[in-house]
Structure 1
Amino acid sequence: MPVGRFGNLWKNFMLENHPHRLSELVAQGKINEIILKVDEETESRKERLIQELLTAQPMPDTEDTMERAAHMGMITDTAEEIVISEVVLQIR
């Protein structure tokens, strides 16, 4: 099963910090289910956060594509930092 970016981050977090729990999940056959769930939850939360952040910090009123892209990049980076701490770096 292909592992998404956030699922892979979670798996590495668990491997480094909670290897016994990760082994339990593998033995129970639940690891792929949880990785998929982490990916789905993270992507969903990230999209909601991006919309919330854009509401709080709207796109600049300019025709400068680079400025708009930089703003969107900052919003996306902020959303990813939040979802990593809220969703990815959690024991399951």
Structure 2
Amino acid sequence: MSAAVAWCAVVVCLLPACASRSPFQKGYERGASDTVKRQYWILQDMQKREDGNRSKPRLSLYRIPVMPDPEATVKTVPYEITVPVIQ
């Protein structure tokens, strides 16, 4: 029972302190919240600008003809390899 009384005493002492914040404290908390939001949006804008400056990747296809070795024991036909390069 004494633990319950002690807990109630703590709640009664701390509850008014939480409810009665000064106008200065309220303003400080709002300002801090606003600062975090501004920093978030500044970062978002910076990332959008970085993405906007980049050009779209360009795909180039390079064709390489492969001729058979005339001295090989196994005869093959000529073929072509296509190498994709993204720039």
TM-score range, shorter chain: 0.3 to 0.5
Structure having greater relative contact order (Cα 8 Å, sep ≥ 6)? 1
Higher alpha-carbon Rg = 2
Q: Greater share of strand residues, 1 or 2? A: 2
